[in-house]
Amino acid sequence: MSTSARTRLVHLTGAIGSGKSTVRRLLEAYGVVTLDLDSLARSMHQDPQHPVMHHLKQAFPQLITTSGCLQRGCLRSYFSQHPDQNRELLRIMQPFIQSALQHWLAQQTSSFVVCETALSLVSDDSPIPVWRRVVVDASEALRLNRLLQRQATWTSDDATNMMAMQVGREAYLLGADQVISNDGDLSRLVSQVEELYSYLCNEGEIK
């Protein structure tokens, strides 16, 4: 791919509610350039003119709003109960997301950038080289608790169904270069992110 030879991609991942976005924002405070793939996906399916909408309209006509966007909240209301349809959603979205990610990466000039997603970053037909995989980990009970606090309208069943959509804790940890254990309070997270930042800077130094 045509990525700047100097910019390395860090995949920041972990299960729903593990604390990925919190870690990403803490890294941003150090000046790290980051991209949130959930926001990127949202910017596509909340834009009626985006080319992906043609495919989404065909696949999920019942989930398209009168203004031509994908219904917000459909992860909870629909996809969490239809795993096959979720696979179809990801199949449709992936090429658009991969191409936008490649385009974004090609514009970067820092030695590394961080990309957040709970999902896989690479697909067989479009491999994007991941330099480091950082996993944010927390117990299921804690994640459930934090999700219910964050999303006032979710029931415990909603949160559990959404957690069940993703691979298990062990699978996330597989192949991790760094693990952030987010089982403690925010101050513990802050100090781990400080260490992570030093690690990435030292490892990412272009020699």
Ligand X SMILES: CC(C)(COP(=O)(O)OP(=O)(O)OC[C@H]1O[C@@H](n2cnc3c(N)ncnc32)[C@H](O)[C@@H]1O)[C@@H](O)C(=O)NCCC(=O)NCCS
Widest CA span of the chain, in angstroms? 54
Helix (H) or strand (E) holding 44: helix 37-45
What part of residues 35-64 is at the interface with ligand ATP (CB under 6 A)?
none
Tell me if 86 contacts ligand ATP by CB under 6 A: no
Q: Would you tell me how many other CB atoms lie within 10 Å of the CB of residue 28?
A: 12
**Measured from the CB atom, is 24 or 64 closer to ligand ATP?**
24
> Residue 119's binding partner, choosing from ligand ATP, ligand X, none, with beta-carbon cut-off 5 to 8 A by kind?
ligand X
Is 22 part of any known ligand binding site?
yes
Q: Which of 3, 18, 98, 192 binds ligand ATP (CB under 6 A)?
A: 18
Of residues 122-151, those binding ligand ATP (CB under 6 A): 146, 150
Question: Which of the listed partners (ligand ATP, ligand X, none) does 7 bind, with a CB threshold of 5 to 8 Å by partner kind?
Answer: none
SS3 readout for 138-157 = CCHHHHHHHHHHHCCCCCHH
Buried b / exposed e over 50-83, threshold 16 CB at 10 Å, is eebbebbeeebeebbeeeebbeeebbbebbbeee
Say whether residue 8 binds ligand ATP (CB under 6 A).
no
Binding stretches for ligand ATP (CB under 6 A)? 14, 16-22, 118, 146, 150, 182, 185-186, 189
